[in-house]
Amino acid sequence: DNQVAIAQAGAIPLLVRLLGDEEPGVRGAAAAALGNLAFYHTETNEGNQVAIAEAGAVAPLVLLLLDPAAGVCEAAAGTLRNLAARNVENAAAVVKAGGVASLTRLLRDGGTWAQEEAVGVLRNLVAESPANQAAVASAGAVEALLKLLDSKEGRLREEARATLHFLARDNPEVREAVQRAGGATRPGAPPSAAGSGPGRLGRR
């Protein structure tokens, strides 16, 4: 598999260093390359998720969520989305590095691409962790996700709906927060006790 071969050739530490390059294009390309290496596949490159995190990629990727250069924050969010897919440790590392606040900001202020990647990260963060669910809810993400249910983009609406479902599924306090924010009555919002099943957890 090419992803595994590239990682075994020593590319991961080099790409992590390039996340801090002074050229925005280099930062974005490095983030995108790491995202491709991290794309989840249990039979081939699950180890790449671990190797990328162990190389110190999470913190600089979180910093890039606030990068003003076109395409950089989106690439960083896409990579964090892949790193957190079905990986509890990486999801916890994203939360610990302060990623939730920046992701919530992208939900509110980002363009469609940034919003879609950000909601995908949040979906992976909360899918298997009540602690992460609480962290995301306390950052104000519930209100931002509810607003995305009115998006003209169908894929974005579905991602927001699925993330709200995960947020409310296992955590009573989060479920109450969703209901207080309008989740029990807004069109397209998942019900408090059940909702759409888990979909794709990795980046497209």
- What's the pLDDT at 171? 74
Region of residue 145 (left: phi > 0; alpha: psi -120 to 50; beta: else) = alpha
- What's the pLDDT at 44? 57
**Which residues fall within 8 angstroms of residue 10, CB to CB, at 6 or more apart?**
none
Tens-place pLDDT, residues 34-43: 999 998 666 5
**Parts of the chain with a pLDDT under 70:** 1-9, 40-46, 181-204
Output the CA–CA distances (angstroms, integers) from residue 32 to 36, 71, 114, 186, 188, in the order listed: 6, 10, 14, 35, 32
Cβ atoms of 58 and 31 closer than 8 Å = no
- What's the pLDDT at 193? 31
pTM: 0.85
CA distance 190 to 149: 11
CA distance 91 to 176: 23
- What's the pLDDT at 177? 74
Closest CA to 24 of 58, 68, 60: 68
- What's the pLDDT at 73? 98
- What's the pLDDT at 168? 84
- What's the pLDDT at 199? 33
Q: List the helix and strand counts (H, then E) for the chain.
A: 13, 0
